[in-house]
Amino acid sequence: MNSLLWVLYLLGTVQGVMLSVALLSSRDERRIANRYLGLLTLLFSVALADYVLDYVGLTASYPWVRTLQWPKEFFYGPLIYFYVRELSVPNPPQLQGREWLHFVPAALHVIISWMLLALSGERQLGILTDAPEAGDEWLWMIFGPIEQTVTMSVIMLYLFISLRLLRAHSRRVLETYSYTEKLSLDWLRHLIIGLISIYLIWVLQVFSPTTFWEDALHAALGLGFVVLIYSMGYKGLRQPRIFHLDLSVPLEPLSRSSLSAVMNGVEPVATTNEVSASGGDGKINRLGEDLDESPAASFADNKYANSPLSTELSQALLEELKTVMASERPYLDNQLTLLKLAAMLNISAHYLSQVINQQLQMNFFDFINGHRIEASLAMLQQADETGMTVLDIAMASGFNSKSAFYSAFKKHQGVTPGEYRKRIASAC
């Protein structure tokens, strides 16, 4: 092993152990998530330590060291899953009762693997290094091809389940918040994808046809663990708790004006207030558009098929929502959430979400940011006179960052703020 790689592996192992201690000893509101991450980091540190022990020749001299640290693969999947669930699901269930069944394969793996300690050191080393003695071929099959196949299948299953949780989390954020700063778990999704890549390297290493590629893949695998440990520790320690409130709150009473409008048979008045514009084809989505024939409308109808909120009342709530958005401009609050806006309307957050999804065919995030972009257009047109920078306009429109403003502007207008200003200038 290259001496530089050995130093990197050693530093990664020490850093991983230190991060594990810090995470496992934390007492803040993220302590449960930190415990899962701490145990996961510790496992990766043990895996990386195996490289160091091989380099100094300790595992060759004392094969029982390799046997002791051997059974760890079945712990990765459940710990990753529980960590992702703890971060991405509101009020996640505690680890109790049937939840412990996730660790049954890992426990069985420990028991079976540590039974090898009863054998001589030479036999242990032969079985675990693809060089079994005569008569131990069946044990090599168990701890070689069979274990590798089962391990990879289980880990990949948990990783894909975790990715599904993260995808659901992304949808939940967009339905609940008007901002994604400190709420997005894209870093964790990228980390899981990176972990999948590491295991694919492991598969290539196991079935590598040449010694040259085996050594190269071995180095890539070790470096992957180093990067993973540092990334997990850095991002995990900085990740705040996301869900402080339970969105499954009881339904609140509807506002008096909405009830009155429906009971008196008042027809909702169509409006042409722009919410968003798509830059490519020039089509404009308007709050009062009839979208019942679109595929999105059909999906929304199916989603709320059993909702007690009638179509008439939903339309009346939409009109009240438009009034509040125009008169009170709540979208300028850069911390606006679905619950805050629902409280302003004195309705349930569930009902408000249904109105936005069903009547406007968009999520809460796009709905609010569409209004923010509309508010920014006039400021961009007058930027030369007012001297406002793009960051000033972004903050004044209700965004938390320049990058969020650029992303939303590009999505709703099809161009960047700078390109929009150039168009305005050339049109004058």
Residue spans per domain, the chain: 3-238, 256-427
pLDDT confidence of residue 406: 94
- Number of C-beta neighbours around residue 232 at 10 A: 24
pLDDT confidence of residue 299: 45
pLDDT confidence of residue 171: 92
CA quadruple 278, 356, 336, 324: dihedral sign:
positive
CA quadruple 142, 59, 48, 43: dihedral sign:
positive
Helices vs strands, H then E, count in the chain:
22, 2
Could you tell me which residues come within 8 angstroms of residue 101 by beta carbon, excluding any fewer than 6 positions away?
Answer: none
Q: Which fold has domain 256-427?
A: Arc Repressor Mutant, subunit A (1.10.10)
Per-residue DSSP letter, 240: P
Could you tell me which residues come within 8 angstroms of residue 84 by beta carbon, excluding any fewer than 6 positions away?
Answer: 162, 165, 166, 185, 188, 192
Is 3-238 in CATH node 1.20.1070? Answer: yes
User: Quick one: tokens of 216?
Assistant: 């190269």
pLDDT confidence of residue 268: 33
pLDDT confidence of residue 68: 92
The whole-angstrom distance between residue 397's C-alpha and the CA centroid of its chain comes to: 27
Distance CA(14)–CA(148), nearest Å, equals 27
Instruction: Return contacts of 283-288, CB within 8 angstroms, 24+ apart.
Output: 285/360, 285/361, 285/362, 285/370, 287/318, 287/322, 287/360
The SS3 of residue 306 is coil
pLDDT confidence of residue 241: 64
pLDDT confidence of residue 183: 86
Please indicate, yes or no, whether the overall pTM of this predicted structure exceeds 0.85: no
pLDDT confidence of residue 154: 92
* pLDDT of the chain, 428 residues: tens digit per residue: 567 778 888 888 898 898 889 888 888 777 888 899 889 989 988 988 888 888 888 888 899 999 999 999 899 999 999 999 998 988 888 888 899 999 999 999 999 999 999 999 999 999 988 888 888 899 989 998 899 889 889 999 999 999 999 999 999 999 999 999 888 888 888 888 888 888 888 777 766 655 556 677 777 777 887 887 777 767 776 776 665 443 433 334 444 444 444 334 433 333 333 333 333 333 323 333 333 334 444 445 566 767 777 888 889 999 999 999 999 999 999 999 999 999 999 988 989 999 999 999 999 999 999 999 999 998 998 888 888 999 999 999 999 999 999 999 999 999 999 888 888 777 76
Q: How many residues does the chain have?
A: 428
Distance CA(320)–CA(322), nearest Å, equals 5
